[in-house]
Amino acid sequence: MNKQGKKSGEVIRSDEFLPQFRTLFAERRGYFSPQEWYDRLDLGKTLKGMIAAREADEIIRKLSFKSFEADYKTMLVWLPETMNEEAANKILKILEEPWERTLFILVSEHPDRLLPTILSRTQEVCVPRIAPEVLEREAFARGVADPLQARNMARLADGDLLELGHLVAGESDAQRKEHFDLFCSLMRLSYNDKHLELVTWAEDAAQLSREQQRGFLRDAARLLRESYMLHAGIREISYLWGRGAGLLYEVRPVCRLAEHRAADRRDRERLRTDRAERQSDDRIHPFCPLGEQNDKTFVTMARVTLLMGGNLGDVKRTLQSAQQLVNARVGAVLRCSHRYESAPWGFTSENRFSNQALELTTDLSPLEVLDACQAIERELGRNRAAEQLERSASGARYTSRPIDIDLIFYDDLVLETDRLTLPHPLLAEREFALVPLCEIMRQRRHPVLGISVGEMLSALRENHKTEKA
């Protein structure tokens, strides 16, 4: 016996579900999705409805009866695209030669999936999407008190009353977040040319159901579109905020837009100017849970510069692992330098250092970036307690280490705390830091000194020449 009380192989017809259908129709005021109907029938997430050939026979049988209560006989077929081929061909025959005063109303969400022969024998009537102002009023009626929040929900619903209900109730927030994270990983792997990882990503995506894949593609298309709009400066038609705003820089390679230094400076100035406004803005980011937005706390993106180095173990592999962990836990890596070797600074050692500079975008605060970087150091084998003991024994200021990650710049923030000073206070004295930085940001100006990274390196080398002379 199945869930509907039928024996295996016994045909189930739609007439048996009319009471449940009428009840659901009344409860939802005529607005419900196929999945809600399947849930009401307890079909689960895998089983779907289908109009079989015997159902088509039943339709033809009913229409053969004489009408007593009205002049016309009307047959309403919901989701005709679910008909199998045999059922569709049977319905086609009666559509070609219907009985007198007989009307067929086919209510379809995907008419492109119908047989072309059926489409050619029907008159298409497109039902327009609900206007945004109507959905905005409906959002108010459902308890959304904030006018800006209601307007954003109406826009994100895209004319769909069901989607508006999901946004108000927060029912699709988890799925949207999953799609957002999946999209971010795809963009980051593509940008960094991680070909093997992309194959793994594709294999993981293939495990999703067909409906989940469709949902991901819809959300990904929205993210790409709104990233383009945001990059073009058309903010009035872009609703990409919070973590999604950081995708502006990740999507640039896809757009094939040139990243000139002047444009980069303008972007940073615009982001810094808008930061305070975004922190008090109530706009809804489509890929953030609504519940997290009620506190009116919105994340903005910052450009961060890191310097990584080490002189113990397999430094090349360690730096590669560090870059991957930074990309995954701190923010999307935009640019990275080559590795440069240098002699130890502040102490003596036979092992030379290998150093690399990174520029990334992040939604973390400066101290959160510091904590994340120190956690990565520990994971990759750094033991600060052991280093402290070694420094105490030798009297040196520094010692050898497998990995060291320094926070150099955080936008143009100037900060001095017990744990963190920004920009890095010793940057102008360290040639091993300035060399890889010059590769990726020679014209980057120090917010305190007022000179560029390239100028700092030239001044430092000139001082070294003078001292030697």
Count, residues in the chain = 469
What gap in Å lies between CA 232 and CA 248, rounded to an integer? Answer: 10
Q: Where are the beta strands (DSSP E) in 332-420?
A: 332-336, 340-342, 353-362, 404-410, 415-416
Contact 380, 317 (CB under 8 A): no
Q: Where are the beta strands (DSSP E) in 337-422?
A: 340-342, 353-362, 404-410, 415-416, 421-422
Contact 356, 339 (CB under 8 A): yes
Residue 253 pLDDT: 39
Residue 10 pLDDT: 57
Least confident window among 97-101, 129-133, 270-274, 392-396: 270-274
pTM of the model as a whole: 0.43
Confidence of residue 278 (pLDDT cuts 50, 70, 90): very low
Which residues does 290 contact at the CB level (< 8 Å), separation at least 6?
167, 168, 170, 173, 284
| Closest by Cα among 142, 147, 183 to 161 | 142
| Closest by Cα among 399, 375, 396 to 387 | 399
- CATH topology (fold) of 302-468: Alpha-Beta Plaits (3.30.70)
Q: Considering the chain, what is the average pLDDT of its residues?
A: 79
Inform me whether the pLDDT recorded for 341 exceeds 80: yes
- Span 155-179, pLDDT tens digits: 778 788 888 888 888 766 677 778 8
- Span 63-110, pLDDT tens digits: 888 887 888 888 899 889 988 888 888 888 888 888 888 889 999 988
Q: Where are the beta strands (DSSP E) in 73-127?
A: 73-78, 102-107
Confidence of residue 269 (pLDDT cuts 50, 70, 90): low
Higher pLDDT, 43 or 134: 134
Inform me whether the pLDDT recorded for 252 exceeds 70: no
Inform me whether the pLDDT recorded for 282 exceeds 60: no
In the chain, what are the domain boundaries? Answer: 172-289, 302-468
Inform me whether the pLDDT recorded for 292 exceeds 70: no
Mean pLDDT for the stretch of residues 107-121 = 88
- Span 374-420, pLDDT tens digits: 999 999 999 988 888 888 888 888 889 999 999 999 999 999 998 99
What gap in Å lies between CA 469 and CA 465, rounded to an integer? Answer: 6
